[in-house]
Amino acid sequence: MAKGDITILRSAQFGDPGSKRYQVASGAAATINPGELVLKALGSAAVVAWGNTAAKPVVGTDFIGGLSASTSTDTASAAGTVDVVPILPGMVFLIVPNVAATWNTQAKYNALVGARVLLNSGSVGGQQTILAADGSTNGLVVEDLNIAEKPVAVAFTVRSAANYFA
């Protein structure tokens, strides 16, 4: 994946939560870059990259461990670690859309505010991008944004049911 896919637009009301260090299983070199949401399976000590996959997070199936703050140190033959910022209620993130034309006017953007959406990983230059289709089990919510101030960006929050630590 690419570095810096996702940034924090607004932090939680109590400030920056800092980061926590998690294990990353072996299998590839530096599988997680800074600025990517990472997944955490229930009961697992490790976090994982999303890989080249679409349609995550699905509420009740996928749990977000947080936003990576470093490059993971895993290799093909050795497990590693990565620093991850946990997601707190009230945190709003910025990401690029999967299809820019879907979000390219304020009216189009406003029509999607409140939509429950998913991320796509890897199909646009190895980036995590946001999709536009609303679904009841989708784990992210589109938030209000003035696109004149932040063109080619989408603001979103993580639903508590998709947050590993909620």
101: three-class secondary structure by DSSP: helix
pLDDT band of residue 14 (cuts 50, 70, 90) is low
What's the whole-number mean pLDDT along residues 110-139? 89
Q: In this structure, are strands 37-39 and 80-85 parallel, antiparallel, or unpaired?
A: unpaired
CB atoms within 10 A of CB 145: 21
**Which pLDDT value is given to residue 15?**
63
Identify the band that residue 137 occupies on the pLDDT scale cut at 50, 70 and 90.
very high
Query: What is the band of 2 on the pLDDT scale with cuts at 50, 70, 90?
Result: low
- What per-residue confidence (pLDDT) applies to 10? 82
Q: What is the pLDDT of residues 85-110, one digit of tens each?
A: 999 888 999 999 999 999 999 999 99
What mean pLDDT value characterizes the chain? 89
| pLDDT, average across residues 121-131 | 78
Structural domain boundaries in the chain: 92-162
Task: Locate 147 and state its tokens.
Answer: 């696109």
pTM value is 0.90
Give the pLDDT score at 53: 66
Share of the chain above pLDDT 90, in %: 63
| CA 123 to centroid of chain Cα atoms | 15
pLDDT tens column, 27-67: 888 889 899 999 999 989 999 888 766 678 989 888 999 99
Q: Partners of 23 in the beta sheet?
A: 46, 81
Looking at residue 16, its pLDDT comes to: 67
